Amino acid sequence: MRKFPEGFIWGTATASYQVEGATREGGRGRSIWDTFAHTPGKVAQGHHGDVACDHYHRYLDDIQLMKDLGISSYRFSIAWPRVMPEKGRVWVKGLDFYKRLIHALLEAGIRPAVTIYHWDLPQWIEDDGGWNSRETVSRFREYSEILFRELGDLVPMWITHNEPWCASILGYGLGAHAPGLCDWRRAYRAAHHLLLSHGHTVRLYRELGLKGEIGITLNLTPVYPASSRPEDVAAAHRQDMFQNRWFLDPVLKGAYPEELLRRVDAVVGGFDAVQPGDLEVISAPIDFLGVNYYSRAVVADDPADPLLGVRHVPGEGPRTEMDWEVYPEGLYDLLSRLRRDYGDVPIYITENGAAYDDRVEGGSVHDTNRIEYLALHFAAAHRFLEEGGNLRGYYVWSLMDNFEWAFGYTKRFGIVYVDYETLARIPKDSYFWYQQVIRDRAIAPEATELAR
Ligand code: FCB
């Protein structure tokens, strides 16, 4: 029996734009995701977050689901445009929803874990240059200060940013996410400014003398070479710099990887975003590292690729509905690597989960594929714990099906099914399976069989 330690945090995660809806209520301003989703052709089937899961109104029912599930923590994010809806205007009442949510969670014995930024930048800030502009760093600090002053005593766990790689690379480099720009220069500036705003916010948190923990969540993807050819091994090394170390190194070591810095400099024609003292700010000590893990990358050398000279090759494992390879060993490899290269920083897995083509049959959803996915990944995490790894908790993505960014509602990641017609919630088999894991603090024996 794989037993997890007492006090291990079991949780589920969501994000504001993906679940809340009520985008025009409570004085909320527009975000870049409202604009992006309402631009034809950007999101699958023209889906948008106007209603989403209506969590804004149904949060009490959702908390009941969490309570029945038995989780000890709920990770959610705050919508910045609820607090700074337009230029020059701070709207503290926009936090009322979160105050209600947090109080209800605390009453239910569930620890709130708040992500300050999960991609819904106020549109007015984007109009002023967005993450491409250094001014956004001070605005983010200002926004965080409001959150800390209003909610700081109630919230024990803060995450400055969710996946700055996605916010910068997908949003400003590849155009797949809001604000939908394809400009590498801006993408790398955005990445730097996101990290800088993280550092300033961590410092601020310390200055205010708050008692909880603060960290950052990165999407980390272990990279494997397609063959043992030295060219492919070198390609994997470059991909790892781009995907992982560009964020890990500045936060945990106070430096960007030199080699990538040189490449970026060449590709964008002079990378001048970094100013003296920035890296010292970015590397302000954090209390934990949040890790989002879904899959791995396998790459081969490819001189035709201008930035990195790499080409992705599909791995051999089974695939989820996102077409992501199921590769649980990658989680173990990743955690071990973090420990080896970055020391014993406390880690939370802040997201892990899978999308499958779920069907409701007679009021149930038999998502054995998701159970298997989770069991295998829990087992990988357990192996790391057994070896003395400093893993504190595990948040399943997601509590419920929701707006999966550019895929709209076409991809279901929840352990609770959402009927988007009626907004009814139907706990899937994986929900009941997770309930048992939490009860036992262990992976049930039949799942352990699967995880062998
Ligand atoms: C992550 C995001 C999260 C969700 C999952 C599937 O990149 O942080 O919001 O969309 O992927």
User: Quick one: pLDDT at residue 452?
Assistant: 43
Q: How would DSSP label each residue in 172-188?
A: IIS-SSTT----HHHHH
CA of 14 to the centre of ligand 1 (A): 9
**Total tally of structural domains belonging to the chain:** 1
Pocket of ligand 1 contains residue 15 by CB under 6 Å? yes
Average pLDDT over residues 179-185: 97
The average confidence (pLDDT) of the chain is: 97
Q: Tally Cβ neighbours within 10 Å of residue 25.
A: 13
pLDDT digits (tens, 9 = 90+) for 327-360: 999 999 999 999 999 999 999 999 999 999 999 9
The string over 89-102, giving b where at least 16 C-beta atoms fall within 10 Å of a residue's C-beta and e elsewhere, is: eebeebbebbeebb
- CB 260, CB 246: distance < 8 Å: yes
Residue 163 annotated to the active site: yes
Strand partners, 219: 292
CATH number for the domain harbouring residue 374: 3.20.20.80
Active site residue 25: no
Helix (H, G, I), strand (E, B) or coil at 362: coil
The one catalytic residue in 163, 213, 321, 372 is: 163
Going from the Cα of 298 to the center of ligand 1, the distance in angstroms, rounded, reads 20
Mean pLDDT of 137-144: 98
Other CB atoms within 10 Å distance of the CB of residue 305: 15
pLDDT in tens, 244-290: 999 999 999 999 999 999 999 999 999 999 999 999 999 999 999 99
Q: State in Å: Cα 383 to ligand 1 middle.
A: 25
Residue range(s) defining the domain that contains residue 167: 2-450
Q: Can you tell me whether residue 114 is helix, strand or coil?
A: strand
Tens digit of each residue's pLDDT (9 = 90 or more) over 68-122: 999 999 999 999 999 999 999 999 999 999 999 999 999 999 999 999 999 999 9
Residue 298 β-bridge partners = 224
